[in-house]
Amino acid sequence: MNPHNVPCSQLIIFGDDLTDDGIEFSTHSHGFARNSNGPYINYAYSGAQSGYNNIFFSDWSGILWQIEHHCMNHRITPKDSLIILQVGGLSELILQQNDITDKTISIDKINDNIANAVLGLINTVDNGLFFLFMNSL
């Protein structure tokens, strides 16, 4: 299928530093226009972690926060929306989690959500290369 022929009513983006495209088009964007020719909502923040937190802020702009913020402001998401979810950038690797046994998230609920979604997997840069580079300095 030609990527220009994919029917979708809007693009919704949740993500971290690998997804955040920086400042939106304005007087401070240095002439760069937005990255979509159709309706889009970009919630991605640099430094976002997979929960509610950001490496710079607590309880704000994490992936889970982004998703909840979207659901509070848009009760209905059209079925033909294209949703991009990018998680696991450098912010997750740089700040190690102290306790990864948090049982407040239901694994069954996550499995149900994934089973009822359309997923696109993106092959991104190997984040391990960051540590190899840092060790070589």
DSSP-derived 3-state class of residue 50:
coil
Residue 48 has phi, psi (to 5 degrees) of: -65, 140
Q: How many domains does the chain have?
A: 1
pLDDT greater than 80 at residue 136? no
Containing 82, the helix (H) or strand (E) segment is strand 82-85
For residues 115-127, give the mean pLDDT.
Answer: 58
pLDDT in tens, 7-39: 788 888 898 887 877 655 555 555 555 566 778
Distance CA 61, CA 66 (A): 6
Contacts 24+ apart (CB under 8 A), 72-79: 74/41, 77/12, 78/9, 78/10
Asked if residue 78 lies in contact with residue 10, where contact means CB atoms within 8 angstroms, the answer is yes
Reported as a pLDDT band with limits 50, 70 and 90, residue 47 is confident
On whether the pTM is more than 0.85, the answer is no
pLDDT in tens, 106-119: 566 656 666 665 55
Q: Are strands 11-14 and 82-85 parallel, antiparallel or unpaired?
A: parallel
pLDDT of residue 54: 85
List the domain range (segments joined by +) for residue 130: 3-136
